Amino acid sequence: MNKKVFLEDLGLKDYKETWDYQEKLFQKIVDLKIKNRRSGTKDKTPNHFIFVEHPHVYTLGKSGDMSNLLVDEKVLEKKGAKFYKINRGGDITYHGPGQIVGYPILDLDNFFTDIHKYLRLLEEMVILTLAEYGLEAERSEGETGVWLDVGTPFARKICAMGVRASRWVTMHGFALNINSDLGYFDMMIPCGIKDKAVTSLNVELGKQKIDMDEIKVKLHKYFEKLFKAELIKEEASV
């Protein structure tokens, strides 16, 4: 099993360009697995972890409800936002500046073949990271992602998640709000969940801006620990 994971930070990158890049890496892994199975070879499959920040964009998962986007194309255009229907699970999600987006493209045969465990470990990575800032983040039963004050009238989501997996290869991932403009969340029903708020780390800590690179280092640390993986930094190739 190959537990080495190539780490790329793409900086600020268009959503569609990044999605296409994900698909390329994803398909290479799937194709290699098919080749290994058909020919009896045992070539190691690679793993990737992409960090990125997107310009304003809304994405709707394959089981999502279009009515959860509360504005039309003209309003989106005025706000400088794009919209895509995509092939991950989950409903509608917003990505934008000030948000850390992570896309693990892993062959889970290198780790464990359990999607439920995979999602829970991604959540735990975020929970442990936020704990370093004095926040008691947690899961909300039946709702993927990471929340604060679950079970109270003040429950709010700080990290959304939605993934796709085929032949135990993953893509898409998580979006953690760090310095996000929360006004963009008002144009949708986040993840299709009504009557629950969204928050950002800078708001929770009462700070104007938080160092996102510092957060990434902590996410890297807990990813390696939880997945028993080794991250290998690569120069961005797109």
Give the pairing type, strands 156-166 and 48-53. Answer: unpaired
Q: Residue range 205-224: average pLDDT? A: 97
Q: Can you tell me the distance from the alpha carbon of 208 to that of 128, in angstroms, rounded to the nearest whole number?
A: 22
Q: Each residue of 102-114: pLDDT tens digit? A: 999 999 999 999 9
Residues marked active site are found at 191
For the domain that residue 59 is a member of, what is the CATH number? 3.30.930.10
Structural domains of the chain, count: 1
- Check if the beta carbon of residue 199 is closer than 8 Å to that of residue 182: yes
pLDDT 10s digits, 38-80: 999 999 999 999 999 999 999 888 777 788 788 887 888 888 8
The answer to whether residue 174 sits within a structural domain is yes
In a domain, 177, yes or no: yes
* Phi, psi torsion values for 125, nearest 5 degrees: -55, -45
Residue 238 counted as domain residue = no
Distances in Å between the alpha carbon of 44 and those of 4, 38, 110? Answer: 10, 15, 9
pLDDT category, 190, cuts 50, 70, 90?
low
Per residue in 137-166, pLDDT (tens digit) is: 999 988 889 999 999 989 999 999 999 999
Q: How far apart are CA 230 and CA 68, in angstroms?
A: 39
Q: How confident is the model at residue 192 (pLDDT cuts 50, 70, 90)?
A: low
Question: Which parts are annotated binding residues for substrate?
Answer: 88-95, 160-162, 173-175
Residue positions counted in the chain: 238
The answer to whether 4 and 111 are in contact (CB under 8 A) is: no
Q: Which domain holds residue 76?
A: 4-233
Is 220 part of a structural domain of the chain? Answer: yes
The reported pTM is 0.93
Enumerate the known binding-site residues: 88-95, 160-162, 173-175
